[in-house]
Amino acid sequence: MLKTFLRAGAAMALVLAPAAGQAQVDTQAHSQAAPVQDADPALWVVKDEDTTIYLFGTVHVLKPGLSWFDEAVKNAFEASDEIVLEMVEPDEAEMQALVMRTGMNMSGPTLTEQLPEDKRAALAAAAAETGLPVAALDRFDPWLAGLTITAVKLQKLGFDPSTGAERMISAAAEEAGKPVSGLETAEEQLMIFDSMPADLQTRYFVSVLDQVDEMGPMLDNMVVLWANGDPDALGALLNEELRDEPELARRLLADRNARWAEWIDARLDQPGTAFVAVGAGHLAGEDSLQHFLAQRALNAERIAY
């Protein structure tokens, strides 16, 4: 289950990172500047007579040192009139207000009480490692606690939200004066998590506790496949666990991809060029965005470079 959340939930973990507190990055691992490595992530295009829509799969949090915003990706960005992301990040105050409204539980059972007894020691250990008091986490809904621990853990491992693809694309768009919009709002993304049944939220949080030490290797592996432009291998890796949680896969991936395919179909009725950047996991696997585009007789062509 954790792979699915790293695939589809890292965008929200990225914007939760400031609210989670500034984690201390491992200074030994990052005492020297990382050497720059070339990355060639996959890029697709959907077009008709007067409209071109590029589809780029992102990784929301990256370690420094990957050179990916160049070659065909940069060319597609520069050729585009508008930039479309999964969501446009709200400012920190607005985000904190949204989190308080959707993810806090001040009157119901505590997070500890919702966990099986044999997982409560793991909660205390994860809280201690990330510097988040159990007493504070106890008022979080399970989904919010899981995303918060994930955000802090990934920062400690050296995954930097500021070098994630969305923030680099947003900064480049601002510099170039290109308009930026979102397929979803932050509130809509939060509600995807908050509307999950209680038992699914708890299972997710237990998976975070069980696999907290595996987050780094998991995301490292995903980043390698992304950098190598191998969505088939990425889809195969991630689809392993989707069969075990079909409701989670529907909420986080299939339903959203179907809505985004509808948006792209409608956008093709307007002339111009758009650069659409969504999490790479949405462009891989059986319920990919390309799958739902094909259902609408739209072909997403892979751009070779």
Give the three-state DSSP class for 84: strand
Using H for helix, E for strand and C for coil, what is the string for 254-272?
Answer: HHHHHHHHHHHHHHCCCCE
Instruction: Give the model confidence (pLDDT) of 48-69 as tens digits.
Output: 999 999 999 998 889 999 999 9
Backbone φ, ψ for residue 160 (5° rounding):
-105, 115
pLDDT at 8: 52
pLDDT at 3: 60
Q: Name the β-bridge partners of 43.
A: 56
pLDDT at 5: 56
Is-above-0.85 flag for pTM? yes
CA 173/CA 274 separation, integer angstroms? 12
The secondary structure of residue 140, as a DSSP letter, is B
Q: What one-letter code names the amino acid at 229? A: G
Can you give the pLDDT of all 305 residues of the chain as single tens digits? Answer: 566 556 555 556 556 654 444 444 443 344 455 678 999 999 999 999 999 999 999 988 899 999 999 999 999 999 999 999 999 988 888 988 999 999 999 998 999 999 999 999 999 999 998 788 999 999 999 999 998 888 888 888 888 777 889 999 999 999 999 999 999 999 999 999 999 999 999 998 999 999 888 888 988 999 999 999 999 898 887 766 666 778 888 888 899 999 999 999 999 999 999 999 998 989 998 899 999 999 999 999 999 99
DSSP H or E run through 302: strand 301-302
Give the position of tokens 């973990």.
Answer: 13
Q: How many CB atoms lie within 10 A of CB 174?
A: 11
Tokens representing residue 66 in the block: 């990957």
Instruction: Find the angle CA(253)-CA(191)-CA(140) to the nearest 5 degrees.
Output: 115
The answer to whether 225 touches 237, Cβ cutoff 8 Å, is: yes
Tokens representing residue 10 in the block: 């890292």
Q: Where are the domains of the chain?
A: 2-21+38-302
Instruction: Give the model confidence (pLDDT) of 140-150 as tens digits.
Output: 999 999 988 88
Instruction: Give the model confidence (pLDDT) of 262-294 as tens digits.
Output: 999 999 999 999 999 998 989 998 899 999 999
